[in-house]
Structure 1
Amino acid sequence: MRFSSIAIIFQSASIFVTTLAGGKIAHIPESRKSFQCERRLILGSSYERTLFEVLGQIRFKEILPIDKSIIYNLVDQADDSTNVFYEDETPDAFFFHKLEKPVDAIKDGVYVYDTNHILVIDNHGRTCGIVMRTVVRHRSINRSDVPDSGASFMLCTITS
């Protein structure tokens, strides 16, 4: 009886540990990284030059680090079976950089969904993920009577 109780406890613990580990995988070369952001696939090669420029801005402190809890909260919100973040050690800092392209504006009835994509870069200069920022706004000409819904944030899925 005692052995079976211990076995059940270990089995429960292993399920819990698996749940905690979901969402993150080890870094790979930047050129092989790709992210699925709803209907859009973003390849590492498409932002390679931007990343190089951003690393210079980080080095000269033109871009300030963000609170790490913001990133880890987004990782925690992701489905446990989906990889959304590259991390093979705990970085000291994360930085955001909004990509100029792609920007999506999808019209749905009286609403417009504006989506931007934001690189998440660690202090080692590696892309850890891409955040999708979506703002829902009313298409009304008189914007003063209809406020925007605010922004929602979600990490894109790793496809490579």
Structure 2
Amino acid sequence: MRFSSIVIIFQSASIFLTVLAVYTKSHIPEERKKFLCGGRSITYSEYSWSALVETTNVSGNRISWSWANQLSHLMSDSSNQNFVLFGPESEVSKFYILQDLTTGGSSDNHNHVFEYIVLVDKIERTCGMIMRVLSRLNSNSASSPDQNISLCFIED
């Protein structure tokens, strides 16, 4: 009887564990860090001089959640088998939009804004990068944009 109670407790506890599907690496010198975001390679020399704007929440159509929650969601994506973070997810403490790297464009009757968010730890080391693409129909500029959020890959 005691054994079955222990099994039930362990099984119940496992429900609350997040499975880490993507990979992390140990930190390397900052000047050697480079990320691939949707086909664009972003090096330390590019993002280190960019103006930083701290951001805490992801805003969607009617949904707002923290970047930390968004990162946890992205880290559990089993289809992503790439290295995406330097250090463990738990070390990430701040999220900054890289204003000078934000770009825009249009395709298929949509306007797009590409934002890059750098993830840093408590001692200001770069841990990773997120790309957010905001898309809106050209004919409907008053509507809330659709957004696609993805982790950038670490380039060697």
Query: Could you state the TM-score of these two structures normalised by the residue count of structure 1?
Result: 0.67
- SS in structure 1 of the partner of residue 129 of structure 2: strand
User: 1:122 is matched by which residue type in structure 2?
Assistant: D
Measured after TM superposition, the shift of residue 88 of structure 1 is 4.9
Q: Cα 1:114–1:63, aligned 2, differ >3 Å: closer, same or farther?
A: closer
User: 1:96 is matched by which residue type in structure 2?
Assistant: F
1:133 paired residue number: 132
Alignment of 1:98 onto 2:94: no
2:13 paired residue number: none
Alignment of 1:77-156 (within 5 A): 77=77, 79-88=79-88, 90-91=90-91, 94-140=93-139, 143-144=141-142, 147-156=143-152
- SS in structure 2 of the partner of residue 45 of structure 1: helix
Partner Cα distance (1:77, 1:99) in 2: 24
Q: Larger deviation: 27-36 or 98-107?
A: 98-107
Q: Cα 1:43–1:112, aligned 2, differ >3 Å: closer, same or farther?
A: same
Measured after TM superposition, the shift of residue 96 of structure 1 is 1.0
User: 1:25 is matched by which residue type in structure 2?
Assistant: K
1:33 paired residue number: 33
Write the deviation string for residues 99-127 of structure 1: whole angstroms up to 9, x where unpaired: 12322323112112211101111112111
Partner Cα distance (1:139, 1:89) in 2: 37
Structure 1 runs of 4+ off > 4 angstroms? 62-67
Partner Cα distance (2:73, 2:42) in 1: 22
Write the deviation string for residues 59-83 of structure 1: whole angstroms up to 9, x where unpaired: xxx8779663332222222644211
User: 1:132 is matched by which residue type in structure 2?
Assistant: M
Q: Cα 1:138–1:89, aligned 2, differ >3 Å: closer, same or farther?
A: closer
Highest Rg: 1 or 2?
1
Contact 1:78/1:155 (<8 A) preserved:
no
Partner Cα distance (1:28, 1:37) in 2: 19
- SS in structure 2 of the partner of residue 77 of structure 1: coil
Contact 1:25/1:83 (<8 A) preserved:
yes
Structure with greater strand percent: 2
Structure with greater helix percent: 1
Query: Could you state the TM-score of these two structures normalised by the residue count of structure 2?
Result: 0.68
Structure 2 unaligned blocks of 5 or more: 1-18, 58-65
- SS in structure 2 of the partner of residue 151 of structure 1: strand
User: 2:141 is matched by which residue type in structure 1?
Assistant: R
